[in-house]
Amino acid sequence: MQLVRGIHNLQPGHRGCVATIGNFDGVHRGHQAILARLRERSRALGVPGCVVIFEPQPREFFAPDRAPARLTRLREKLALLAARDVDRVLCLIFNQRLRALSAADFVHQVLVRGLGVRRLEVGDDFRFGCDRAGDFGFLRRAGAAEGFEVDEAATVEVAGARVSSSRIRQALAAGDLPLAGLLLGRPYSISGRVLHGQQLGRTIGAPTANIQLGRLHPPLSGVFLVKTLVDGQPWPGVANIGRRPSVHSDGRPHLEVHLLDFQGDLYGRSLEVTFLQRIRDEQRFPSLAALQHAIATDIASARAFWRAHPV
């Protein structure tokens, strides 16, 4: 899969494609249906299939403190798109310059002059351009004038409701991992590099891998049973994701994973953590001893689970 970062990096060879546009946060089952049609239509026309995404996501640019939780950071999103046989991703840098681009200029600069789009698929609620002035009808009219077709992305429903990133966020926030997995088409996971932390876990008998989150707001918090891939091998464990209210904290969310009976150095390595079951909410403990007791209880719960469900 080819990644093009920014409009300025588009070359003449990038012209001619079937495209779709969106955040694609989570690359859930609704997105997967769009990508399947993208692949089918691009193969029929003999041109690449291109996904246009934004980084940061627009709501993160406008109001970072109130932006919705990220299901996937950019690296994870690109890996998921590549797994769906996407030929090319155009990642547009969402800054003040792009924000000020009118809908007409976006069509001309990105879709026509930049990508030479032959066919475009978007949802009927898609909005774009300065002040979100462009909509599906605008694209249809622009396509008729510029020589490209515009198709409406079909809605995918699961359990009686539309699949959306918002619905997945709600499920994760409520600890409903089975529903989130059903909507995603896979169990929810977070990937990141292991960083040096405070190493408090070592002092209380529960060493943890502090994993880089790479997002402003994670979509879930609490203590979870997890499965972590280490050198391709699934390893059982227990994880805490949140702001660590019981210890001196920088106020940012952290993901810490304790791998049961693991011996070895994980610093600097990239791990994928799959969330399987919520144990409890994150909470503030009155003392280090109380925190240590809670962690020991969490680990005992994890051992009992994994004895019944070996990896």
Query: What's the pLDDT at 241?
Result: 93
Percent of the chain with pLDDT over 90: 66
Task: For residue 182, tell me if it sits in a domain.
Answer: no
Task: For residue 27, tell me if it sits in a domain.
Answer: yes
Task: For residue 171, tell me if it sits in a domain.
Answer: no
Q: What is the pLDDT of residues 211-238, one digit of tens each?
A: 988 887 899 999 999 999 888 889 999 9
Which domain CATH number covers 237?
2.40.30.30
Same domain for 199 and 146: no
Task: For residue 170, tell me if it sits in a domain.
Answer: no
| Beta carbons of 302 and 260 less than 8 angstroms apart | yes
**pLDDT band for position 123 (cuts 50, 70, 90):** confident
| Calpha distance 291→307 (Å, rounded) | 24
Task: For residue 131, tell me if it sits in a domain.
Answer: yes
Same domain for 20 and 150: yes
Q: Which domain does 95 fall in, by range?
A: 2-158
**pLDDT band for position 44 (cuts 50, 70, 90):** very high
Same domain for 219 and 302: yes
Q: What is the pLDDT of residues 232-252, one digit of tens each?
A: 889 999 999 987 655 555 668
Please determine, for residue 203, whether its predicted confidence score (pLDDT) is greater than 80. no
Residue 37 vs residues 22, 33, 150, 163: alpha-carbon distances, Å = 15, 6, 13, 17
Query: What's the pLDDT at 205?
Result: 54
Give me the DSSP letters along 19-63.
Answer: EEES--TT--HHHHHHHHHHHHHHHHHTS-EEEEEEES-HHHHH-
Q: What is the pLDDT of residues 2-38, one digit of tens each?
A: 999 999 999 999 999 999 999 999 999 999 999 999 9
Where is the domain boundary, 102, 137, 158? 158
Same domain for 203 and 276: yes
Q: In this predicted structure, which of 41-50, 176-185, 299-308 has the lowest mean pLDDT?
A: 299-308
Mean pLDDT for all residues in the chain: 90
| Calpha distance 57→74 (Å, rounded) | 10
**Eight-class DSSP state of 134:** B
Q: What is the pLDDT of residues 56-103, one digit of tens each?
A: 998 899 988 899 999 999 999 999 999 999 999 999 999 999 999 999
| Structural domain count, the chain | 2
